[in-house]
């Protein structure tokens, strides 16, 4: 299941429908461009709390899953702990994969 989910994130990255990195994702959340946020489970507690609060305030689903290494490799970048998905269709596919595996 995790490979399918990472595949969906990879597709989003290739379609340029993501933002990555804490600052970029935060800006896009505030501009209401992000439809879902994924935070690596091994990111700092401060990062997890910051994005949990931001997503709560802007009513955006947040997933805390995978490692920084897995997320970074999936999008072809280094050391990225936060990813924002901008495409609602990719978010629906992601949620479907989580629910139905």
pLDDT, tens digit (0-9, with 9 covering 90-100), for 12-32: 999 999 999 999 999 999 999
Condensed to tens digits (0 to 9), the pLDDT of residues 59-91 reads 999 999 889 999 999 999 999 999 999 999 988
Output the DSSP codes for the chain.
-HHHHHHHHHHHHHTT-EEESHHHHHHHHHTT--SEEEE-TTS-HHHHHHHHHHHHHHT--EEE-S-HHHHHHHHT-SS--EEEE--HHHHHHHHHHHHH-
What pLDDT, on a 0 to 100 scale, did the predictor assign at position 26?
97
Confidence of residue 95 (pLDDT cuts 50, 70, 90): confident
Given a cut of 90, whether residue 51 has pLDDT beyond it is: yes
Domain that holds residue 57: 2-100
Q: Two tokens at 3?
A: 């490979």
* Torsion of Cα atoms, 39 then 42 then 48 then 51, to 10°: -20
CATH of the domain at 22: 3.30.1330.30
Tell me how many domains the chain contains: 1
């Amino acid at each position: 299941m995790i490979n399918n989910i990472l595949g969906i994130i990879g597709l989003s990255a290739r379609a340029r429908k993501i933002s990555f990195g804490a600052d970029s994702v935060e800006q896009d959340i505030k501009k209401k461009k992000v439809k879902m946020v994924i935070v690596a489970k091994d990111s700092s507690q401060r990062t997890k709390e910051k994005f949990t609060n931001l997503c709560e305030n802007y009513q955006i689903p947040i997933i805390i899953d995978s490692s920084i290494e897995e997320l970074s490799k999936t999008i072809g970048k280094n050391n990225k702990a936060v990813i924002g998905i901008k495409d609602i269709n990719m978010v629906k596919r992601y949620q479907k994969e989580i629910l139905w595996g």
